[in-house]
C-alpha cells in the first residue's frame, strides 16, 4: 500500500525529471540554431592590388574584400580567407578546397568547368608596362621581347592571343604575383609586362615603370564557383551588386569611390558624352573606309577574274599558236599569283589598320577619363597631349592605308625599266646629281606602281644621301635572275639600319620615303630589294628579278 506522502514525493520526482529533460532540450535548441544559421564560406585571397590583397598587418583588404565582408554580414556568412597565388586559387576552386574566388574574368574555356556571376563588379582592361624610354608604342614593337605575366591570369592569356594575330613572336616569363612581374621588369629580367590596369597603377610607380599605349582586352571582373556548386552564393552576390549600383550610398558605391575614385551617378557626364561622340566619329570613319576598301577589292577582283577568263578563252582559241599561247598562259599564272598576294596584303592592311584605330580609340577613352579625373591642370593637359599624339598616329595610319590600297589591284604588265626610270626622275630635281645609266632594253613584269619604286629610290638619293654627287643605275645578269643596281656616293646606310629602313614603322615616321611600300610593290611579282652598300662609301640598292619575270626587248624581237 502506497502512502499519500510517498505518492506525493514520487510525483515531485517525475516533475523534476521532466523539467530537466525540457531544460536540456531548450539548451540544445539554443546552441544548435545559431550554428545552423551561420554558414562557413571559404574565399580565395590572391595578391592583386588594389582589388584584393594582404595589407601590412597581414589582414585581407581591397575592393572585393569590402564587398564580400558586407554581403557576408547581410547573408550571415562566416568568411574564411584562403591565401594563395592566382594559379593555386584556380586549382583549389576546381577541387572544392575553396567555395568562392573573387576578382576573376570568365572565358569560354573556363565556363566548361566554372560558374561565374552574371553581374559585373568591376570593368578593367589589360595594359603593357615597361621601363621609361622603352620605345614600345604598338603591339609590333614587342617582336622578340621578353614579356612577364602572372601565371593563370586572363590578361596574359589574352596577350598571347593578341600577339599571335599580328604574328608577333615573344618570350613569355610567368610569375606567381603581379609584384614579381613588376620586379622582373624593373631589374631587366623582362623587357615588359602585361597586367590589368587596376593592378598596374600603384605598382608602376613603386617600381619606376611606365604604362605604354598598348591597351587591349576590356574585361568584366566578377566571382566564380566550381561548376554546379554554391550557385546560391552567386545569386546573393548578383543581387547585392545590382542593388548597390543603383544606390550611391551603398557599400558597393562607397568602395568604388574609395579604391578607384569613381562616383556613382545616374547622370552621364557631359565630358563622357563628348568623348563617346568623338570615338563614334572615328569608328564611323574607319568602318566607312573599311567598306570602301572591301568594295574596291571586290570590284578589282571581279575585273581581274574577268581578265583571267578572257586569257583562258584566248588559250582555247589560239591552241595552234604554240609559243604565243604558252607566253599568255604564263602571264595568266603570274596574274593569279599576284591576285592572291594582293588579297593577302589588303587583308593584312585591313587588320593592322583596324587594330591601330581600335587601340587608338581605347587609348583616347582612357586618357579622356584620366584628364577628367585629374586634380591639377598640368596633369589634365598632359593627358590631352597624349590624346593629340594618338589622333596624329591615327591620321598617319589612314593616310598610309589610302596609298597602300591600290597595290596589286591593277593588271601587271611588262615595263621597260629605262623608260620607267626616266619618268620617275622627271618628277624630281636631279640637276646637281650626275647620272650613269646602263639598262639596255631590259623589261620586267611588275605592278603598274613600279614607277613609285624608282621615285622613292631617287628621292632617297636627294633627301638622305647628303653630299652625294653621282648615281649609277645598271644591271647584272645571273644564272637564274637579273639584278638591277642603284648606287650613289653618299654617306651610305649604317649596318644596323639596312633592314629597318624597309619596315612599316620606319615608313610611317617618314624615314627613307616609303621603302616599305616599294618593297611591297615589287614583292607582288616575286621581285626582292635589299640594301648592300658599304657604310661611309655610299648606298647600293639591289633589285633581284627572278627568271620568267624579265626579258630583253631586242632579243625577243
The domain boundary residue, chosen from 404, 423, 448: 404
Same domain, 465 and 387: no
What's the Cα-to-Cα distance from 545 to each of 98, 244, 467, rounded to whole Å?
66, 69, 30
The domain boundary residue, chosen from 222, 238, 262: 262
Same domain, 380 and 512: no
Find the helix packing angle between 377-404 and 322-373, rounded to 10°: 170
Same domain, 207 and 64: yes
Domain of residue 236, residue span: 38-159+191-262
Same domain, 370 and 475: no
Same domain, 535 and 508: yes
Inside any domain, residue 241: yes
Q: How far apart are CA 481 and CA 529, in angstroms?
A: 13
Pairing outcome for strands 146-150 and 192-196: parallel
Same domain, 425 and 444: yes
Strand partners, 444: 415, 550
Question: Residues 205, 79: contact at Cβ < 8 Å?
Answer: no
Inside any domain, residue 30: no
* pLDDT for the residue numbered 268: 43
Inside any domain, residue 114: yes
Task: Report angle CA 48, 50, 52 to the nearest 5 degrees.
Answer: 50
Inside any domain, residue 448: yes
* pLDDT for the residue numbered 502: 85
Inside any domain, residue 4: no
CATH number (domain holding residue 111): 3.40.190.10
Inside any domain, residue 180: no
Q: How far apart are CA 146 and CA 508, in angstroms?
A: 25
Same domain, 417 and 470: yes
Inter-residue long-range contacts of 463-468, CB under 8 Å, 24+ positions, other chains counted = 463/513, 464/490, 464/512, 464/539, 465/490, 465/491, 465/538, 465/539, 466/490, 466/491, 467/491, 468/433, 468/538
Pull the grid cell for residue 432: 646637281
Question: Residues 364, 279: contact at Cβ < 8 Å?
Answer: yes
Same domain, 334 and 355: yes
Same domain, 47 and 140: yes
Task: Give me Rg for the CA atoms of the chain.
Answer: 36
Same domain, 475 and 428: yes
Inside any domain, residue 9: no
The domain boundary residue, chosen from 369, 404, 439: 404
* pLDDT for the residue numbered 184: 95
Q: How far apart are CA 455 and CA 460, in angstroms?
A: 9
Furthest-apart CA atoms within the chain: distance in Å: 151
Same domain, 282 and 431: no
- Per-residue pLDDT 10s for the chain (557 aa) are 545 556 666 666 666 677 777 767 766 555 554 444 578 999 999 888 888 889 889 899 989 999 999 999 999 999 999 999 988 999 999 999 999 999 898 888 888 999 999 998 888 889 999 999 999 998 999 999 999 999 988 889 999 999 998 889 999 999 998 889 999 999 999 999 999 888 777 788 889 999 998 988 888 889 999 999 999 999 999 999 999 988 888 999 898 888 877 665 443 445 545 655 665 676 577 666 767 777 777 887 888 788 878 877 776 776 556 555 455 555 555 556 655 665 565 555 666 566 667 777 777 777 777 777 776 777 777 777 777 777 777 776 666 666 666 665 667 789 999 999 999 888 888 888 899 999 989 999 988 888 889 988 888 888 777 778 899 999 999 999 999 999 999 888 888 888 888 887 665 444 445 788 888 888 888 899 999 998 888 899 999 999 989 999 864 44
* pLDDT for the residue numbered 323: 57
Question: Residues 482, 442: contact at Cβ < 8 Å?
Answer: yes
Question: Shortest CA distance to 150 belongs to which of 209, 107, 193?
Answer: 193
Pull the grid cell for residue 72: 557576408
Inside any domain, residue 482: yes
Tally of domains within the chain: 3
Q: How far apart are CA 253 and CA 247, in angstroms?
A: 7
Amino acid at each position: 500500500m502506497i502512502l499519500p506522502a510517498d505518492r506525493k514525493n514520487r510525483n515531485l520526482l517525475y516533475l523534476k525529471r521532466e523539467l530537466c529533460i525540457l531544460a536540456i532540450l531548450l539548451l540544445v535548441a539554443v546552441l544548435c540554431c545559431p550554428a545552423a544559421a551561420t554558414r562557413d564560406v571559404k574565399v580565395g585571397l590572391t595578391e592583386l592590388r588594389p582589388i584584393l590583397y594582404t595589407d601590412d598587418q597581414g589582414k585581407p583588404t581591397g575592393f572585393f574584400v569590402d564587398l564580400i565582408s558586407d554581403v557576408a554580414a547581410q547573408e550571415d556568412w562566416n568568411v574564411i580567407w584562403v591565401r594563395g597565388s592566382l594559379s593555386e586559387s584556380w586549382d583549389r576552386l576546381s577541387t572544392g578546397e575553396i567555395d568562392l574566388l573573387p576578382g576573376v574574368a570568365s572565358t569560354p574555356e573556363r565556363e566548361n568547368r566554372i560558374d561565374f556571376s552574371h553581374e559585373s563588379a568591376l570593368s578593367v582592361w589589360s595594359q603593357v608596362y615597361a621601363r621609361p624610354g622603352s620605345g614600345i608604342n604598338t603591339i609590333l614593337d614587342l617582336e622578340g621581347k621578353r614579356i612577364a605575366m602572372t601565371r593563370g591570369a586572363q590578361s596574359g592569356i589574352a596577350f598571347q592571343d593578341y600577339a599571335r594575330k599580328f604574328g608577333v613572336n615573344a618570350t613569355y616569363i610567368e610569375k606567381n604575383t603581379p609584384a614579381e612581374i613588376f620586379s622582373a621588369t624593373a631589374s631587366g629580367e623582362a623587357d615588359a609586362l602585361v597586367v590589368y590596369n587596376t593592378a598596374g597603377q600603384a605598382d608602376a610607380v613603386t617600381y619606376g615603370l611606365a604604362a605604354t599605349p598598348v591597351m587591349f582586352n576590356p574585361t568584366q571582373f566578377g566571382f566564380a564557383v566550381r561548376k554546379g556548386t554554391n550557385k546560391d552564393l552567386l545569386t546573393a552576390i548578383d543581387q547585392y551588386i545590382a542593388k548597390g549600383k543603383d544606390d550611391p550610398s551603398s557599400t558597393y558605391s562607397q568602395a568604388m569611390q574609395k579604391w578607384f575614385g569613381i562616383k556613382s551617378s545616374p547622370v552621364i557626364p557631359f565630358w563622357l558624352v563628348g568623348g563617346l561622340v568623338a570615338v563614334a566619329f572615328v569608328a564611323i570613319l574607319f568602318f566607312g573606309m573599311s567598306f570602301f576598301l572591301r568594295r574596291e577589292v571586290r570590284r578589282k577582283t571581279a575585273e581581274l577574274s574577268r581578265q583571267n577568263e578572257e586569257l583562258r578563252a584566248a588559250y582555247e582559241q589560239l591552241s595552234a599558236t604554240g609559243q604565243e599561247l604558252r607566253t599568255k598562259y604564263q602571264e595568266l599564272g603570274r596574274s593569279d599569283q599576284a591576285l592572291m598576294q594582293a588579297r593577302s596584303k589588303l587583308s593584312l592592311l585591313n587588320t593592322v589598320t583596324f587594330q591601330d584605330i581600335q587601340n587608338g580609340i581605347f587609348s583616347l577613352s582612357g586618357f579622356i577619363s584620366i584628364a577628367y579625373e585629374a586634380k591639377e591642370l598640368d596633369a589634365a593637359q598632359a593627358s590631352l597631349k597624349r590624346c593629340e599624339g594618338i589622333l596624329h598616329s591615327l591620321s598617319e595610319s589612314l593616310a598610309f592605308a589610302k596609298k597602300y590600297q591600290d597595290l596589286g589591284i591593277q593588271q601587271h604588265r611588262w615595263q621597260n625599266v629605262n623608260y620607267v626610270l626616266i619618268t620617275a626622275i622627271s618628277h624630281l630635281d636631279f640637276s646637281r646629281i650626275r647620272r650613269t645609266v646602263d639598262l639596255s632594253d631590259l623589261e620586267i613584269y611588275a605592278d603598274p606602281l613600279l614607277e613609285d619604286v624608282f621615285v622613292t629610290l631617287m628621292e632617297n638619293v636627294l633627301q638622305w644621301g647628303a653630299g652625294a654627287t653621282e648615281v649609277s643605275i645598271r644591271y647584272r645578269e645571273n644564272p637564274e635572275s637579273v639584278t638591277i643596281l642603284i648606287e650613289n656616293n653618299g654617306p651610305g646606310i649604317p649596318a644596323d639600319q639596312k633592314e629597318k629602313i624597309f619596315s612599316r614603322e620606319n615608313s610611317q615616321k617618314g624615314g627613307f620615303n616609303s621603302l616599305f611600300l616599294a618593297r611591297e610593290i615589287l614583292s607582288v611579282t616575286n621581285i626582292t630589294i635589299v640594301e648592300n652598300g658599304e657604310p661611309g662609301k655610299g648606298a647600293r640598292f639591289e633589285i633581284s628579278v627572278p627568271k620568267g619575270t624579265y626579258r630583253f626587248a631586242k632579243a625577243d624581237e
